[in-house]
Amino acid sequence: MSASTHEVPMLGIEAMDREHRELTRLFDDFARCIENGGSEDQVNAIVQAAIRCANEHFDHEEQLAIAANYPKIEEEKFHHRNMRMQFTTLAGDTMNFRMKDPVTLQHLSIMRTLLEEHIAGPDKELADFLKAAGCK
């Protein structure tokens, strides 16, 4: 897995776009840190920052969806719960195994794909709904 920087699709809701860019940056930082032999403390700090950022982001999206009476709010919450569990598992892998463990690196790649698919799918749908409701 290469630590290349990924392009984040813009959805047109500035707060969501900003949060997606930050989450993506943290994933890139995590991968680079592992590939460059960063210390366990450095990797753990990035993982904790990513979990904190993800939780704040998911809470924020759910607040936006509720405020706009988004009809698929329960689906959005389900996706977020799933991603929270995946992030927690990744954090556990990172803290309990050597950071260059192939399973941990593969899990990071899977999580990155899940995040990208979530942004391009459910989050795009939510953003379209929010824009139609007048949110910017």
- Assess if residue 7 is contained within a domain: no
Residue 59 identity (one-letter amino acid): D
- The predicted pLDDT at position 51 comes to 87
Yes or no: say if 26 and 53 are a contact pair by the CB < 8 Å rule: yes
CATH number of the structural domain spanning residue 126: 1.20.120.50
99 band by pLDDT with thresholds 50, 70 and 90:
low
- Assess if residue 25 is contained within a domain: yes
- The predicted pLDDT at position 101 comes to 65
DSSP code string of 100-128: T-HHHHHHHHHHHHHHHHHIIIIIHHHHH
Tens digit of pLDDT for each residue in 67-91? Answer: 999 999 999 999 999 988 888 877 7
- Assess if residue 21 is contained within a domain: yes
- Assess if residue 87 is contained within a domain: yes
- Assess if residue 5 is contained within a domain: no
Domain carrying residue 55: 14-132
The tally of CA atoms less than 13 A away on the side-chain side of residue 24 is: 19
Taking the CA atoms of residue 26, residue 120, residue 12 and residue 55 in that order, the dihedral angle to the nearest 10 degrees is -40
Residue 133, token pair as written in the block: 């409701």
- Assess if residue 2 is contained within a domain: no
- Assess if residue 69 is contained within a domain: yes
Overall number of domains in the chain: 1
